[in-house]
Amino acid sequence: MSSWIDYTINGIIIGNIYALLAVGLALIFGVSRLINFAHGSVYVVGAYAGFVAVTQLGTPLPLTIVIVVAVGALLGLGIERFGLRPLQGYAHIAPLLATIGLSFVLDQLVQLTFSPDPRALPSELLERRFQVGSGTIGALDILIAAVGIGSAALLYYFLRFTRLGWAIRATAQDRDAAQQMGVDVNAVNRAVFAIASALGAVSGLLVGMYYNYIDPAMSFQATLKGVVAQVVGGVGNVPGAIAGSMLLGIVESYGIALFGTSYRNLFAFILLVLVLVLRPNGLFASRRQTPPEPMTGTFIAPSKPIQISYPVLIGIAVVMALLPLVLPNPYVLQTLTNAWLYGLLGLSLTLIAGTVGLISLGHAALLAIGGYASALLSLDLGMPVGASILLAGVIAAAIGTILVFPSFRLRGHYFSIATLAIGEIVSLVILNWESVTRGPIGVAGIPPLSIFGFELDTDRSIYWFALAVLVILAALQFRLLGSHLGRTLRAMRDDDIAARSYGIGLDRYKALAFSVGSFAAGVSGGITSHLYSYINHETFNSQLSILALTIVILGGMGNVTGAILGSVLLVGLPEVFRVAAEYRVLIYGLVLLLLVRFRPQGLLGTI
């Protein structure tokens, strides 16, 4: 069974790498109550800093590590400066969204500088291996273990025996009381971001050396793994983060041994969702906690929404419907068709995140469910395309709501993290469930759009179809918001405790809203799959989830018109100005960052 020893060692090594990430996240959460979604970007920057040092400057390993630590620490200070400090006193979710925006910006800058192609990060340690019993251990394994254990020891000493360390612990335990002892909590925040980011950057370097492979896309996965390890160990708990990381590393390693590499992340995210739902304080917390001070985790800035009367809206819709007759430019029509489809996604998320206040970070999964459902129904079961799209909406509503239902009890950040993980799980199930989804090959030859047997083969007809679907669903959403359900859902968002006291069962109404919202997203995914004729598990990726959120915040949370406007602006404008694809994500990140900071109520205002 020598391979089991190898798998165990491998698990511990990976666990060490996760620990370097998770400890930083835990430190940051401890002092600032922020889950830093830019942490993975620090990891990527660390890896690339190491790459530059080794390949361009030819630095020896110790110097490389020093450079990476310095770069990481500086970057951490920058994240604190732009992602956290200006947002003190904002809604709790605001800094989290800001760090998502920052991570988009940073990742794209890395990609623009070094190209999206993977690079090798050579290390002379890679080849050296030692015999241990019946297994082997590499020199790099030993280095990683040494860095992991060494950092943990250093951190322990620092937190226990230095003034700054004490200030960090005191701030984490009671921010106000620490201030009353004369602790400058802003300085503590800066120190923590610098330390955490230095550790994260080193983690990136080590991973790059371990796999002799780095690419900008590692960022998101690294953030997720760090978050998983941290949540498993108890958010904000430093020893817990280390234990959670080891557990995660070993679970993944054994999972790979038993089921193969493509299952690795699936285990990680299922573990995350299970822990969130069953033990939200982490595996190591035992006490029955005092019920937390009621805090709505929503992102609702009181504002006067800009009222647009129904006649005006109908007028705009008519103008849009007439547009193909006046301006039969295929490029414009395709762009706007795209905007209408994103508008459907926006309708969905603005209802769920805006009207109900459930900030979903995995919304692309609903597109994926809808897309696959419609594609497979029409392709494998021969269902007519129009009907398959409708049924795809229903399927997305049913599956989406069932998957998310256990997470409805989570508040604020925790719900967002759960949806992020559920989104990843959906994508991984699609990848691995080959008998149905065709796995990594994807679904090709999806029949083109048609209704009642009439094929929609012109840009114009497709445009009208997408616009019609959008207008119908938007009208239904307006009608829903104008009914007793509108006020019920918004009441839940504004104050769930008070809402319950007036007889509103939260689970029932969250599920109801989530189903309605998921239907629109599923329909959007379904239509998209027929337009593309080919989809795979990466067609609807997590970037789309964040784009959807940016669309919704740009338009104004809960604002139906705003969601469509946001979609036209974010999807349409870059096309109009022919912005190259790689700059778009950068723009989305910047827009998100600026919105959160300067106009949280969006363009048309929160409803």
Partner 1 sequence: MTSAPSTAPQPAEPLLALEGINTFYGPVQVHFDLSLKVGRGHIVCLLGGNASGKSTTMKIILGLVKPASGSVHFAGQPITGLPTPQIVRRGVGSVPEARRLFGEMSVRENLLMGAFTRKDQRAVAQDLDRVLGLFPKLAERLTQRAGTLSGGEQQMVAMARALMGRPSMICMDEPTMGLSPLWVDRVLDLIATINREGVTVFMVEQNASLALEIAHHAYVLQTGRIVLDGPAATLRTDPRIRDAYLGGQDAG
Partner 2 sequence: MSANTSFLEVRGLTRRFGGLTAVNNVDLDLAEGEFLSIIGPNGAGKTTLFNLMTGHDDPDGGTVTFMGRDITRLSPERLAALGIARTFQHGRVFANLSVMDNVLVGAHVRFKAVRPAWPFPLNLLGPVAEVALALIRPPSVVAEEQRMREEALKILSRFGDRLLPRLDNPTYSLSYANRRRVEIGRALALGPKLLLLDEPTAGMNQTETAEMQALIGDLKKSGLTILLIEHKLDMVMQLSDRVVVMDNGTVIANGKPAEVRNDPAVIEAYLGHRRADRPEASVPEAAQ
- SS3 call for 602: coil
Amino acid letter, 254? Y
What token pair was written down for 564?
């469509």
Contact between 302 and partner 2 per CB under 8 A? yes
d(CA 495, CA 54): 54
The one among 58, 176, 503, 581 contacting partner 2 by CB under 8 A: 503
Residues 21-50 that bind partner 2 (CB under 8 A): none
The one among 49, 178, 266, 446 contacting partner 1 by CB under 8 A: 178
Name the binder of 242 from partner 2, partner 1, none, CB < 5-8 A by kind: none
The one among 180, 290, 309, 435 contacting partner 2 by CB under 8 A: 290
The one among 310, 452, 502, 598 contacting partner 2 by CB under 8 A: 502
Contact between 308 and partner 2 per CB under 8 A? no
According to the 3-state scheme, what is the secondary structure of 523-536?
A: HHHHHHHHHHCCEC
Q: How far is the CB of 320 from partner 2 (least distance, A)?
A: 24
Q: How far is the CB of 472 from partner 2 (least distance, A)?
A: 12
Name the binder of 505 from partner 2, partner 1, none, CB < 5-8 A by kind: partner 2
Amino acid letter, 366? L
Name the binder of 158 from partner 1, partner 2, none, CB < 5-8 A by kind: none
Residue 98: closest CA among 602, 594, 583: 594
d(CA 337, CA 456): 13
Contact between 498 and partner 1 per CB under 8 A? no
d(CA 347, CA 547): 13
Which residues are bridge partners to 138 per DSSP? Answer: 129
In sequence order, the 6+-apart residues with CB closer than 8 A to the CB of 29 are 35, 36, 230, 235, 236
Q: How far is the CB of 290 from partner 2 (least distance, A)?
A: 5
What token pair was written down for 388?
């398959």
What token pair was written down for 464?
């009208």
Name the binder of 494 from partner 2, partner 1, none, CB < 5-8 A by kind: partner 2
Nearer Cβ to partner 1 (183/206): 183
Contact between 287 and partner 1 per CB under 8 A? no
The one among 429, 485, 569, 603 contacting partner 2 by CB under 8 A: 485
d(CA 374, CA 523): 9
The one among 286, 484, 581, 598 contacting partner 2 by CB under 8 A: 484
The alpha carbon of residue 23 and the mean position of all alpha carbons in its chain are separated, in whole angstroms, by 20
Query: From residue 145 to residue 174, what is the string marking binding to partner 1 with x (rule CB under 8 A)?
Result: ------------------x--xx-xx--xx
Size of the chain in residues? 607
Contact between 402 and partner 2 per CB under 8 A? no
The one among 149, 177, 444, 498 contacting partner 1 by CB under 8 A: 177
Which residues are bridge partners to 535 per DSSP? Answer: 443
d(CA 392, CA 383): 11
Name the binder of 483 from partner 2, partner 1, none, CB < 5-8 A by kind: partner 2
Contact between 179 and partner 1 per CB under 8 A? yes
In sequence order, the 6+-apart residues with CB closer than 8 A to the CB of 238 are 23, 26, 27, 30, 155, 159
Nearer Cβ to partner 1 (282/442): 282
DSSP state of 137: E
Q: How far is the CB of 292 from partner 2 (least distance, A)?
A: 12
What token pair was written down for 36?
């830093």
- SS3 call for 135: strand
Nearer Cβ to partner 1 (149/181): 181
Residue 572: closest CA among 324, 393, 332: 332
Question: For partner 2, which stretch binds (CB under 8 A), given 11-19, 202-210, 365-373, 480-488?
Answer: 480-488
Contact between 176 and partner 1 per CB under 8 A? yes
Contact between 501 and partner 2 per CB under 8 A? yes
In sequence order, the 6+-apart residues with CB closer than 8 A to the CB of 312 are none
Residues that bind partner 1 (CB under 8 A): 163, 166-167, 169-170, 173-174, 176-185
The binding site for partner 2 (CB under 8 A) comprises 287, 290-291, 300, 302, 476, 479-480, 483-485, 487-488, 490-491, 493-495, 497-506, 508-509, 511-512, 515-516, 606-607
